[in-house]
Amino acid sequence: MADHVPHPGHGRHFDDRPGTMEKLQYYVNNFGDRYLYDVNRSLFNQVGADNIFRRRFGEHLFDKDSLTVIIGTDSGLLPRYIQQQGVPDGSRYLFIELDQLLPMIGDAAGELDEHIHLVGQNGLIDALKPANFPDYANIGAVRLIESLGAADAFIGDYRDLVADIRRQLDGVLWAHGVQLSNPSFVRRQLEDLIEHHVPAKVLRNTFGGKTAALLGGGPSLDDMIPWVREHQHDLVIIAVSRICRRLREAGITPHIVVSIDPTEFSF
Domains and CATH numbers, the chain: 4-179 (3.40.50), 198-266 (no CATH)
Residue 79 vs residues 36, 113, 132, 189, 215: alpha-carbon distances, Å: 15, 9, 19, 47, 41
Per-residue pLDDT, averaged over 150-162, amounts to 97
pLDDT at residue 261, rounded to an integer: 66
pLDDT at residue 8, rounded to an integer: 43
**Is pTM, for the whole model, over 0.75?**
no
pLDDT at residue 6, rounded to an integer: 58
Per-residue pLDDT, averaged over 131-149, amounts to 94
pLDDT at residue 259, rounded to an integer: 81
pLDDT above 90 as % of the chain: 63
pLDDT digits (tens, 9 = 90+) for 177-233: 877 766 777 777 788 888 888 888 898 889 988 999 999 877 678 889 999 999 999
Sign of the CA dihedral with 57 first, then 49, 144, and 244 last: positive
pLDDT digits (tens, 9 = 90+) for 48-69: 999 999 999 999 999 999 999 9
